[in-house]
Structure 1
Amino acid sequence: MLIYFWIGILSGQEEQVLDTIFNKDTKTFLAVPLITNDPVMQTGFGGLGLFFFKINQQDQKSPPSLVSLYGIYSTNDSYMITPFARIFWGEDRNRAAFGVGNLRVNNDFKYEDYDGDFRLVYTEMRTFMTAEYSKKVWRDFYLGILYLGTQTSYAFNRGTQEEKDFTKAFFEENGIQDNFVSSIGLNLSFDSRDYPYYPTRGLSFSIRPKLNADWLGSDNDYVDTDYEFTYFYSLSDDKILAASLAGGFAFGDVPFDGYQNYGVRNSLRGYETGKYKGRNMIASQVELRWRFYKKWGAAFFGGTGSIWGNENNGEEEFERAWLPSAGLGLRYMVSKEKRINIRLDYALGVDGNQGLYFGVMEAF
């Protein structure tokens, strides 16, 4: 989910306050108001709490651990609340992540087909829990286990009566219904990045196969796999080239809410998350990050991707073979110690898709 936050950059004591907050030798707590502007959720307001810490102060290799709480309510009556933790310990030999969340997103997607345009207007309500633990097994390789549980339900109470009736009939005709997904999986990863919150060099990849089965409580039996590759290269002291390849694939009795969502995990910016869905997705992008003056920076990015394999749930309008994106952004580094940026990005896609994004830390 895209996050915007405002902080008193124009305050006369901003530098002193941030240097104190982000001192690497102390625990770090930051609470800030949020303003969001998402292509799906529209404008929203909320708050973000970030707490950086080290489990062992003598540990010189582990990155700072992070606990966060994110909550937002938007102008189209969508909301999200998500506590999350990312923990590093034991000289970075151990890594764990935990998260729970509850959200309601009011979708209004416009599609084009051979008979003209049509709209799907519906509310998606979701409660989820995720937990993961990984251990270093050799050099920069990690092997981990994970669990994901997600309850999704749909409602048709927005838009005109014609839009509500059409969307409900569309869902019923294509077997799209409330669903519970419960899965266990593995995470094979490699991470040679110099710093996880703002890498300047190194390579990382993660491959996560997951089994969804009725004996785990899942309503559907299927296997899905997510993957992500990132690479960072310092062109100079103030310029970084970043590249990403991400996506996933699934086979078996895959439900509608188990499909890949184009635009999720920032692949790619410029598209409404959830508008394009399918069993299979691939998205690649390249970004040039340039710090041009003190704490100020810019980013220039572009990429393309594809999503396909929606033969069981819905129509082919969910699929797209060619979804390019390009954009630019502005950066402000609120901490040199923790290398934390706030960002403002504008991205342009095809068929009128576009987005304006304010975020905490980089897109990938």
Structure 2
Amino acid sequence: MKSYLLLVSLFLAGNTAFSQDSISYQPNKFNQFKEVPLPAIGSNPANGWLFGIAPSATWRMGDPSTTHLSNLVGNFLYTTKKQWIFSSRSTIFLNEDDWILVGDWRYFITSQPTYGLGSRAPNEFAENPLQQGVYWGEQQMDFSWIRFYETVLKRVGDSKFYLGVGYHLDVYSKIESFIDTELPSELNFSHDYYNQQLGFNTDKYTISGLTFNAIMENRDVAVSPYEKNFALVSYKVNPSFLGSEQSSSTLLLDYRHYFNLSEKRKRHLIALWGFGNFLVSGNMPYMGLPSIGYDMFGRGGRGYAQGRFRGESMAYSEAEYRFPLQKNKETFGGTVFLNAASFSSRTTNEKLFTNLNPGYGLGIRFMINKENRTTITADYGFGQKGNSGFYLNINETF
């Protein structure tokens, strides 16, 4: 389900799709508009290998000296786990960066294992000693997922701060839990038991809400930063009158900071990331709960498959050391990283930070466009209890 992150062009010569040629500004026109349908390939533990096309477009909505480059990426992918993934993501900067429009649209026909709630959920399928009559450990789930997210943000004066609102819709349907062995009739799957206890359907549910957002965008280049920082605070309300099964609210916090270790080689740096997602009020259906790898761009939790851990609240942190591999060129780079996550669960009486799930690993970087720092990333991560995974992506993890 990280598909929208896993796109790597097979045509490395297609750098022109991301180029920023010197073109004079013409008002009321899309400047430097470039559209390229790129064959794509990617990999991660949740999807296996992904194949398809990734049409992309870049353009400017204003004067290049005062307006960031806008971009749109579409994904049309099939995976080795027999999943279909269709998505469109866009970040559009209007003239002089006065407004930002952020879109995230998806339609997935997919599958994913779940393991139960909290940081203690094991790999092995067994009866949960904390919940009699309920399984935890690996349980497969098939489902369809529709997402429609649109956010509008207004710049505050001439600052790096933006305020805005958004509409967020998630519809999960055709949900089916199963295992490869026979299930005793008196025991329940984690997903089904949780939803039944809180009054949600087990085969279909909707989360529909409004977000109130504050952003500080201070990175030099968002896709592969060398310096400065980024912050996001997003409070989301999901009232039943907008279509949610039950009313609820959540709070999302995201902060990233980049420390240069060399003024001459700014690619030599330490990157830090802190991320939290908390259920503030009400109840959320199972798939809507905070889960590892479900950050906005699905990059968290290397060393574990997406959805490996889930709970009512989560806290996540990561540190990454990035460095060039060539003395005078920026084409090749490397990284080592360390992360940790913690999840709370009211159903298993587990509090946040009681247990931690660490991960670590290393990776290689290949920069295919130096102007925009468009980079192919290949990482291998290791988690606890035999969890591991290979991650092939486009651009830096965070």
TM-score by length of 2: 0.82
- Residues 6 and 310 of structure 1, relative CA distance in 2, 3 Å threshold: farther
The match for 1:193 among 207, 219, 222 is: 219
CA contact 2:139–2:179 (8 Å) conserved in 1: no
Which residue does the alignment assign to 1:127?
146
The match for 1:247 among 276, 279, 282 is: 276
Which residue does the alignment assign to 1:303?
339
Which residue does the alignment assign to 2:291?
261
Query: Is it true that 1:270 corresponds to 2:303 in the alignment?
Result: yes
Aligned pairs (5 A) from 1:75-154: 75-109=80-114, 112=122, 114=129, 118-138=137-157, 139-154=159-174
Query: Is it true that 1:361 corresponds to 2:391 in the alignment?
Result: no
Mean CA deviation greater in 211-220 or 164-173: 164-173
CA contact 1:270–1:354 (8 Å) conserved in 2: yes
Gaps in structure 1 of 5+ consecutive residues: none
Letter in 2 for 1:97: V
- Residues 172 and 21 of structure 1, relative CA distance in 2, 3 Å threshold: closer
- Once the two structures are TM-superposed, the CA of residue 171 in structure 1 deviates from its matched residue by 3.9
Which residue does the alignment assign to 1:7?
10
Mean CA deviation greater in 351-360 or 109-118: 109-118
Q: Deviations over 1:51-76 (max 9, x none)?
A: 111112x2412221001101221122
- Once the two structures are TM-superposed, the CA of residue 27 in structure 1 deviates from its matched residue by 3.0
CA contact 1:246–1:267 (8 Å) conserved in 2: no
CA contact 2:139–2:178 (8 Å) conserved in 1: no
- Residues 356 and 310 of structure 1, relative CA distance in 2, 3 Å threshold: farther
TM-score by length of 1: 0.89
The match for 1:23 among 19, 33, 42 is: 19
Equivalent-residue separation in structure 2 for 1:357 and 1:82 (angstroms): 19
Which residue does the alignment assign to 2:320?
287
SS at match of 1:350: coil
Of all paired residues, the percent bearing the same amino acid is: 22
Query: Is it true that 1:324 corresponds to 2:358 in the alignment?
Result: yes
Which residue does the alignment assign to 2:43?
37
Equivalent-residue separation in structure 2 for 1:164 and 1:346 (angstroms): 37
The match for 1:51 among 57, 61, 73 is: 57
- Once the two structures are TM-superposed, the CA of residue 342 in structure 1 deviates from its matched residue by 0.7
Which residue does the alignment assign to 1:69?
74
CA contact 1:30–1:50 (8 Å) conserved in 2: yes
The match for 2:386 among 331, 336, 352 is: 352
SS at match of 1:285: strand
- Once the two structures are TM-superposed, the CA of residue 241 in structure 1 deviates from its matched residue by 1.6
Determine which structure has greater relative contact order: mean sequence separation of CA pairs < 8 Å that are 6+ residues apart, divided by chain length: 2
